[in-house]
A and B are shown apart, each in its own frame.
Chain A
Amino acid sequence: MAFGSMLCGVAGEQYVPERADPPPFFLDLNLDQVVDAITLAKEEYDLRPILYHQLSDVHTIHYRQAVMRDLENPCLLEHVRAFAEGMIVVRRYLQLVDKLRFAHHQHGWFLEAVLAYCENVVSLVEALRRTDLRSRGFREFREYLGGYAEGSYFRSLAEEATRLKAALSSIRYTIGIKGFHVSVGKYNDEPDYSAEVEQTFAKFRQGAVKDYRSNLRAASGMNHVEAQILDCVAKLYPDIFSGLSSFDEYYRGRFVDGAIRTFDREIQFYVAYLEFIAPIKQAGLEFCYPEITTRKNIHSHQGFDIALAHKLVAENSTVVCNDFYLEGGERVLVISGPNQGGKTTFARAFGQLHYLATIGYPVPGSKARLFLHDRILTHFEREENIRNLRGKLQDDLVRIHRALEQSTPNSILIMNEIFSSTTLQDAILLGKNVMSRIQELDCFCVWVTFVDELASMSKTVSMVSTVNPENPVLRTYKILRRPADGLAYALSIADRHHVTYEQILERVKP
C-alpha cells in the first residue's frame, strides 16, 4: 500500500502544494516575521514553500485542519516530536559514517543509525496504535506504517541490528599504558581504583562542587592509536566483527523508507505552528479553527495580531484582543481614531487571520468565520518615500490602481493610511473615489484612515481606536464598532495595583 501526503488528501491532487517566494503582502502583514519564527530551528525541513502557498479549495483546508486537530492531542504531539528527533539522529549518524576513516568505526556508526531508525519506527507504530485518530491523513499514514513495520524487510533489518549490538555491548577489554607500550586484553575483574579514592574522601562531601571531569570527547572520532586498539579488540572477538561488516555492506544507503521520510518533513508543517503558538496560548490567548465560508458574512471574536503577540508574550506584556464582523451588505471596515491606538495592528490581524485560515492553520481568536478569498492585496504607507511628496502621492495612486486592477469580488484589500501626503480636501476626494471603486467591486476591505468622511459611505462600517477617557495618555488598543461613548472605567489607583479588599483576598491564598 502507498501513502500520499499529510498536506493534501483530495483525490487527483497528488502534487505537493508549494510556492517558492513569499506572497507580496507578507511584509505589510508582518507575516514574514511569523514565518521566520515558525521555521526557526526547522530550516532542515524546508517548510517555507508550503507556508507560502495559499490553498484555494475548502477540502484541502479541512484535510489540514483535521490533521492539526489530531496533533493538538499533547500525547500525539509528543510522539511525533520524539519521532522527528529520532530521524534527526539517524541522519546525523549517516552523515558521520561518510566522514570516518577506519572500517570498524564506520561499521559501528552505521549500526547505530539503523538501530535508531528501527527504534524510531517501532515507537511511532506503537504510539499511533494507541492514539485515537480522527483525521484521514493520520489514519491512512497509520495504516501504511503498520504494514511497513510488519513487513519482512523491516523485521529482519531490526532483528539483525539488535543481535549485533548486544554482542558488541557484552565486550569489556583492558588497556595497559606504560611509556609508549600499549597492551589490549580481555577484562578480568580488576578493581576500580577511582572508586577507592572517592570512598576514602567521601566523608568530606559537602554538597555540590565543581565537576572536574574533562570533556575529553567533544566530537565523535577516532585517532590511529584508538583504531589500533580497536583492531586488537576485533582480533580478540573475530566472529562478532565480521558479522558487523557484512551487515553494513548489505544495508548501506537503502534502509530508510521513502514515505516515512516524506511524513517526517510534512508533519513539521503542523508541529512548527503548534510550537510557535504554544507560548501565546500559555499567556491565555485563544486559537480556533475558523469556519471557511464563500458567503460574504464573516466574523472574528477575540482575534489579535499574531506577530505582535509573539513579541509581546516573550516580553511578558499584555496582548489586546479585538472583535469584528461584517454582515449583510457590509464590506468595508473604516478604522479611525487616535494614533498608536492599535489601528494598524487591527488591520494586520484581519489579513493574517484570513491568510492563516487558507493554509489550514487555526487562527487567533475564540471563534471565527472567514472568507475563502482568492488573494490579499495590501497597501501600507512606505516610509522611505516621504522625502518626495509629489512622488509619494503618485506612487500611492499607482499602487492602488494596480491593486484594484488585480482585485476580484473575492479578494481582500487592506489599506493603511494612504493619501497622508496630500491635503485633507484631496484626501477626502481621492478617498471617496477609491471607495466607490471598492463598492463597485464588492470585495472585503479594511481601510485605516484619518479621513472620517469615508466611514459614513455606504457598505462601510466605522470602527475607532479608543483611549482611556480619564487619562488620554493610556491606550486601550481596543477597536470598537462605535465611536467612544465616554463610558469611563474609573479605576482607583488601588484597583490598578490590585490591592483592594477583594483583590487581596483573591491574591493571598488562605
Chain B
Amino acid sequence: MKVFLMYRDQDFDAARELPPTADALTQDLEMNTLLRAMAAEDQFLYTIVEKALLSSLHNPNAIRYRQEILRDCLENEDVIRKLYQLTIETGQQQKRGWLGIFSSYPSGILNSAVQMLDLFVTQLRQLRALADEHASRFQSEGLKRFFAMLAQELDDDYFALLDAHLKTLRFRNGVLLSACLGQGNEGTNILLHRPRGDRWLWLRQLLAGATTSSGFSVHPRDEHGARALSDLRDRGLNLVANAAAQSADHIKSFFQTLRIELAFYVGCLNLREQLVRLGGPIAFPVPAACGERKHTFTGLYDVCLALTVGGRVVGSDMNADAKELILITGANQGGKSTFLRSIGLAQLMMQCGLFVPAESFSASCCNGLFTHFRREEDSSMESGKLDEELGRTSEIVSLVTKDSLVLFNESFAATNEKEGAEIASQIVSALLERGIKVFFVTHMYGFARSFYDQDRQNALFLRAERQADGTRTYRMIEGTPLQTSYGPDLYERVFGTRIQH
C-alpha cells in the first residue's frame, strides 16, 4: 500500500536533506514569507512545503501529476482536510496510549507490536470508510489510484485475517522451533513453526519416550536454566516479533507518509486562500522539458511581495523563449530585484507542482536553480566583499550543471566597474557555453553592452521601465542597455533638489 500522492512511483522523502543551495535560495528569494503563508502557523506543514519547494522536480510529466492532484484538492478541499485530520489523530492516539516498541527482547517487542497493530487496524477501518464515501468525486490519476487501492487492499476478508493473526501471536500453547547446526555446532537459523496436524503431538511424543525425538525438563528451581530456556524461546520468536513490529512500523509510516504528502496539498490550499483574499491571480504553469528554452508569462508578480504588502502588486510580462541570457539593466528601484525574485519563485513553484502567481506562465524546467544576490548589509571592506561574492560563485560553479538556471543580482559590483565587468563577463560566458541559463541584473554598463554588441540570438535585454517624466512603472520592457541607471533621479527624489552636473 503506497500513498504516491507526490510522485507516481515513489514516496516523498521528508527526511531528505535540503539541497546545498537551500540557504541561499531562501535568503535571496525571501522565501520565508511564502512558506509562512502556506504553513498557516503549522510547523509541520512549514517543513514539508519547504522541502517540496526546494526539492524541485525536473520532469514535466511528474509536475503535471501533482498539478492534477492539486486541481482535485482545490475542488474538494473538505475531503482533503478531513483525511489530513485523520492522519494527525492516528499519531496523537498512539502518543496518548504510550504505544511504541521500547523493549529489546523479542517477547516484549511482540507484545507491544500486537497492541499497536490493534490501534492501527481501527484507524484503517476509518480510512476505508472515508474512501467508500468520497472516492467518486476525484478525477486525478493520483487520488483515483489512492482511493481504489484502499478499497481493494482493505476489504472485509483482510480485516478478518488480521484479527486471526493478532490472536495467534499471543502463543498461549508454547512454541515449536527448528534449528540447524551452525559454526561450532551452535544452534542457528532458528525458525518458528506452526505445528502440523495434531498441534501438540511433539509434547505427547516426548512424554511417551518416542525414538525419533528425545528431550528433558529444566528443574523449576534452576534459574539459569529457566533464563536459558526463555532466551531460546526469544530467539525463536525473534523473526515473528520482528515481522509484527515492522508491520506496525510500516502501517505507522503509511499514516505518516499520508500525512506528509497531504501536508503539501494542504499548504497549497492555504496559499490559495490567502492569494484569493489579496485578489492576486493564480495560474497552473505549463512546464516544458529541461533542454527546451521556454520562458514566457504574463502578469507574473512576486508572491512574497504581495503577501507582505497585503494586496495586489504589479505583474510583468516576458517572452524569453529560445533565450539563454536575460540581462536586465535600468532604473534604480525600478523593480529589477523584485522581478528577478519573481522569476526564481515561479520556477520553484512550478517545479514542485504548485500554481504560480501569474495570469499565464510557461517555462522549461531547470536542472538546478541558483541565486547569486549581492548581500547588502555587509560591513566588511569592499575587497572582502568581492572575495565573499566570488566564494559564493565558486560554490555555485561546483554544483551547477547543464540546463541549470542562475540568477545574478548586482553581482561583482564590489570592485571598480572595469574589473567587475571583466569578472562577470568571464563567468557568464563560461556558464552560457556550458548550456546554463543566466538572468543577470546589473548596473555595469560595460558588461551589459559587451554582450549586446555580440549580437547573440540567445540573449534578451530588459530594462526597468522609466517614463519620460522619470516615474517608474515597475515593469520590465525590452531595450538596449543604457549607460545610466537613473541614480540622479533617485537623488533628486530623495533630496528634493536637482542634481548639479
Contact = CB atoms under 8 A, between A and B. Distances in A.
Interface stretch (B232-240, B263-271, B319-327, B351-359): B232-240
A72 B475 CA distance: 68
A203 B228 CA distance: 36
A90 B188 CA distance: 21
Interface in A323-343: none
A172 B180 CA distance: 5
A184 B229 CA distance: 13
B309 interface: no
Interface string A90-103: 00000010001000
A177 B216 contact: no
B178 A220 contact: no
A194 B397 contact: no
Interface in B102-132: 104-106, 109, 113
B173 to A, nearest CB: 7
B390 A499 contact: yes
Interface stretch (B62-70, B202-210, B333-341): B202-210
Interface stretch (A11-19, A204-212, A353-361, A433-441): A204-212
Interface in B142-192: 153, 161-162, 165, 169, 173-181, 183-187, 191-192
A178 B176 CA distance: 9
B246 A177 contact: no
Given A212-B101, A504-B434, A224 B196 contact: no
Interface in A371-403: none
Given A180-B226, A233-B181, A228 B195 contact: no
Contacts of A173: 178-179
- The contact size tier of chain B is 35 or more
Interface in B214-258: 214-220, 224-226, 228-229, 231-236, 238-247, 249-251, 253-254, 257
Interface stretch (A23-31, A481-489, A490-498): A490-498
B276 interface: no
Interface in A68-115: 96, 100, 104-105, 107-109, 112
B430 interface: yes
A225 interface: yes
Nearest to B2: A206
A226 B187 contact: yes
Contacts of A226: 186-187, 228, 232
A203 B191 CA distance: 23
A505 B433 contact: yes
A182 interface: yes
B217 A190 contact: no
A179 interface: yes
Interface string A298-341: 00000000000000000000000000000000000000000000
Given A180-B218, A182-B218, A209 B178 contact: no
B358 to A, nearest CB: 31
Given A174-B177, A181-B215, A193-B193, A504 B431 contact: yes
A198 interface: yes
Given A204-B1, A213-B238, A225-B232, A177 B175 contact: yes
A185 to B, nearest CB: 3
B169 A225 contact: no
A190 B397 contact: no
Contacts of B180: 169, 171-172
The B interface, classified by DSSP as helix, strand, loop or mixed, is helix
Given A176-B176, A176-B202, A494-B426, A192 B217 contact: no
A389 B10 CA distance: 74
B435 A510 contact: yes
Given A172-B178, A194-B243, A224-B228, A183 B214 contact: yes
A185 B401 contact: no
Interface string B275-315: 00000000000000000000000000000000000000000
Contacts of B257: 206
Contacts of B246: 198, 201, 209-212
A379 to B, nearest CB: 43
A432 B185 CA distance: 77
Nearest to B233: A177
B430 A508 contact: yes
Contact of A174 (B106, B178, B242): B178
A214 B104 contact: yes
Contacts of B225: 224-225
Q: Considering the complex of A and B, which 4 residue pairs feature the smallest CB-CB distances, nearest first?
A: A178-B174, A185-B213, A108-B185, A201-B247
Given A174-B178, A204-B247, A206-B257, 4 more contacts: A112-B183, A176-B174, A214-B106, A502-B430
Interface of B: 1-2, 11, 101, 104-106, 109, 113, 153, 161-162, 165, 169, 173-181, 183-187, 191-196, 200, 202-203, 205-206, 212-220, 224-226, 228-229, 231-236, 238-247, 249-251, 253-254, 257, 383, 386-387, 390-391, 393-394, 397-398, 400-402, 423, 426-427, 429-431, 433-436
